Amino acid sequence: MVYFTEIKPTKHYIEEHEKEVPWDKVVEIILTTKNPRKKGNKFEIEKEGYYILFEIKNNVLYVINAKKQ
């Protein structure tokens, strides 16, 4: 379980991935996933045909990458 108080997109997500995976879908997947996989200092989720990579800094979850698999 990871804890955060806010979810924000990174500039990279907005420029490269927002067209492929809409923000509302990203937030839905994050909020409905109980145990994301830890990858170094980041986390990843593979669910419903999507891949999401994010990190948490100062209780803010930053979405780095979101792709359809």
What per-residue confidence (pLDDT) applies to 15?
96
Q: DSSP string covering the chain, please?
A: ----SEEEE-HHIIIIITTTS-HHHHHHHHHT-S-PEEETTEEEEEETTEEEEEEEETTEEEEEEEEE-
d(CA 62, CA 24): 14
- Across the chain, mean pLDDT equals 95
Q: What pTM was estimated for this model as a whole?
A: 0.92
Q: What is the mean pLDDT of residues 49-62?
A: 96
| Residue 57: both structure tokens together | 């800094």
φ, ψ of residue 14 to 5 degrees: the values are -60, -45
In the predicted structure, residue 25 carries a pLDDT above the cut 80? yes
Domain with residues 6-68, CATH architecture: 2-Layer Sandwich (3.30)
In the predicted structure, residue 1 carries a pLDDT above the cut 70? no
